Chain A
């Protein structure tokens, strides 16, 4: 479904991720764990095509991904970046509409669908996205990514700066989307419990490389690994 093979890349002259390979199967939610600065976000950006690839390649739905991020999006790659990056001077509606329209979907219908799915956004529909709170922006970034009807969704720290109550809700929403729309997901997180609650399988990164692959139960049992991951 979604495969990254031998990914090596970084910013400018610095290489941050080296020879990373991972796979997400259809309908699966996979977690990408690791402390700050191990290269999770860089890997995400590599997958979207937003940073220069030194070597390696990405496959989306069985097809080799072209270098252009826009073309990857049209192949069905959705991306919720760390820090949300909603379009601040566009309304909530426009944020969703532009994503749908850019991929040839009916903007109006998609907006209505998303407001249905995320009732939290409805009262804010006409507001500028830049004025929303962090949690609301996070939900909007998710709705925007879903508006392109992705087959695989990359989520980079979706719980960052989000209140606990919304985190719970978000976990529920992601599970529901995963089940209803059969969207596979790769979630980079530092919030271990959030990951344990939604994903079956996890990759653990360290120093720009995949350190190990594990499943939910062994992760739960392995206190030492948990502590190492959280740095507590």
Chain B
């Protein structure tokens, strides 16, 4: 009962609050209703930041830019149409939302498609806002009846008008309040739905581990731009509401003071909670109302600045986050199941079946080959003109002393490192310059050395998001994920958060995610690291079965493990191919023993 309530808290409580606000809107003091309307609008603005920061992981300081631009455009259109036709909302809101989305998409394209550094992105977004502030001070233009007068601002913006025609009157404060609450509630519930949809799940994954999300084959850049555009739309819409509420706009909407408030709303309420920003705006709004009403005079900014510092330092989860943690203490812990996890047993028959079906869906195995691949870092050359072809049938092991360039070679094939010379082919497809997700699309499956799982998500969600990357279909993804889950013997841990699993289990989950992709070439970087002997044996079985269906390349330095693979072995040394053959031939090779096992005569 309480668990259900907990998981639907974001639906039920906001419904109650919104319903209560609508029911009592008529009874409020009109001045309070007028002021409270702005708090709801600020909450909407906070929501736009929570979408891109709390969910998308990018701290955008440009939200007030979209807000202001949306406000200006919505106002200009409303000024021109509303006096004669009424319906100011209909004119202002959609245009503002679209405008906000477009501007955000353009800025987002610049940031995400160039794969800009996090810091660079945030600073660019901040300066975009400040640039607008400076430009709008002197920007003067007349558009129809609207007069944008630089720092004189834009006045004569009609209020919220629901009626049609010249006679339609603007809403009274109490009705306007109800109207804004209704619109905000609609936006909130839509946003909540969106963030729980497939789109939202992928956005969450990008925040948790952007590299892994791309390794599942998602074009992360597109999702980031779309999410940013959505957040821009929400901000623009809030801006138009603000313009109609205030009947006046000036460049201070782009000011630092204004921009500062948005992260405060989000942090006070709780980052990533979606409902939090509304609560934050309410708390801060009420606080300023009270302070501005005499308690602290004009020192509101001073106090808000200090509040931001204290929030960042001491209350990072915000109000709702803290409440959630408290509540969770009284609920049964779903992660308990992680403790009684048994050992993974690979059933080769099931695996064979899964893999042959995958081959039917995804096509035959592909060859991976490199021709003179070259990569250097300063004076160190981890990949020195390596040419090698890998085919299906038997697993390939890359061995060599630490620092021989095994992992670098693998990263070059995957696209994490950009080679400086040579080519990399997938069958006959030149993928040397391809983006990582593109390589995954073409059939590459990668497991890095450290287990990469989405720690906040459950085991099943982890597998599902991987399966969905390939199938693009909910039902098919459900089925694939369930099968892999069963094969790994992790049914009991289905609802456990991946971060609660042991290191070895995380490795298995990661491998399971790779299998969900039905890859045509599989690259594994030290998959046996951190596994027990028993687990290593099962892994060996899995790799051998896998190799019958696809091309498999394993980087490993556990020689015992490599021997059980019974495959081809390639020795790398100082970035070069040093020797090849099966493990027994290599063990008889003195040169290999020298470099790898250190049979040199020492002083």
* Contact present between A and B (CB < 8 A): yes
Question: Does A66 belong to the interface (CB within 8 Å)?
Answer: no
Instruction: Please report which residues of chain A, range 129-164, place their CB below 8 angstroms from some CB of chain B when the two chains form the complex.
Output: 130-134, 136, 157, 159-161, 163-164
Binary interface encoding of chain B residues 588-603 relative to chain A, with 1 for a CB under 8 A from any of its CBs, else 0: 0000001101111111
Choose from B380, B558, B602 the contact partner of A134 (Cβ within 8 Å).
Answer: B380
Number of interface residues of B (CB under 8 A): 25
Given A14-B503, A36-B557, A175-B603, the answer on whether A161 and B404 have CB atoms closer than 8 Å is: yes
By beta carbon, the residue of chain B nearest A136 is B379
User: In the complex, are the beta carbons of A163 and B574 less than 8 A apart?
Assistant: yes
Instruction: Name the distance in Å between A74's Cβ and chain B's nearest Cβ.
Output: 31
Inter-chain contacts of B574 with A (CB < 8 A):
163
Question: Does B98 belong to the interface (CB within 8 Å)?
Answer: no
Question: Does A103 belong to the interface (CB within 8 Å)?
Answer: no
A55-63, A179-187, A188-196 - interface stretch: A188-196
Tell me the complex Cα distance, A36–B402, Å. 10
By beta carbon, the residue of chain B nearest A35 is B558
Tell me the complex Cα distance, A170–B13, Å. 68
**Which residue of A88, A133, A134, A163 has the most chain B CB atoms within 10 A of its CB atom?**
A134
Inter-chain contacts of A88 with B (CB < 8 A):
378
Inter-chain contacts of B600 with A (CB < 8 A):
164, 167-168, 193
Binary interface encoding of chain A residues 96-113 relative to chain B, with 1 for a CB under 8 A from any of its CBs, else 0: 000000000000000000
Given A14-B503, A36-B557, A163-B574, the answer on whether A168 and B603 have CB atoms closer than 8 Å is: yes
Tell me the complex Cα distance, A219–B300, Å. 74
Tell me the complex Cα distance, A163–B403, Å. 11
Instruction: Please report which residues of chain B, range 269-290, place their CB below 8 angstroms from some CB of chain A when the two chains form the complex.
Output: none
User: In the complex, are the beta carbons of B587 and A197 less than 8 A apart?
Assistant: no
User: In the complex, are the beta carbons of B380 and A198 less than 8 A apart?
Assistant: no
Instruction: Name the distance in Å between A14's Cβ and chain B's nearest Cβ.
Output: 7
Given A36-B529, A161-B403, the answer on whether A193 and B599 have CB atoms closer than 8 Å is: yes
Instruction: Please report which residues of chain A, range 192-226, place their CB below 8 angstroms from some CB of chain B when the two chains form the complex.
Output: 192-194, 196-198
Inter-chain contacts of B595 with A (CB < 8 A):
164
Instruction: Name the distance in Å between B356's Cβ and chain A's nearest Cβ.
Output: 34
Choose from B379, B401, B404, B603 the contact partner of A197 (Cβ within 8 Å).
Answer: B603
Inter-chain contacts of A190 with B (CB < 8 A):
402
Q: Identify 16 new A-B residue pairs, CB closer than 8 A, beyond the known A164-B594, A167-B602, A171-B603.
A: A37-B530, A131-B378, A134-B403, A160-B401, A161-B404, A164-B595, A168-B603, A171-B602, A193-B598, A193-B599, A193-B600, A194-B598, A194-B602, A197-B602, A230-B559, A232-B559
Listed from nearest, the 6 A-B pairs whose CB atoms lie closest are A161-B403, A197-B602, A191-B598, A172-B603, A160-B402, A131-B379
- B residues with a Cβ closer than 8 A to A are 378-380, 401-404, 503, 529-530, 557-560, 574, 587, 594-595, 597-603
A-B contact pairs, 30 of them (CB 8 A): A36-B557, A36-B558, A37-B529, A128-B378, A130-B379, A131-B378, A131-B379, A133-B379, A133-B380, A134-B380, A136-B379, A160-B401, A160-B403, A161-B401, A161-B404, A164-B598, A164-B600, A168-B601, A171-B602, A172-B603, A190-B402, A191-B597, A192-B598, A193-B598, A193-B599, A197-B602, A197-B603, A230-B597, A231-B558, A232-B559
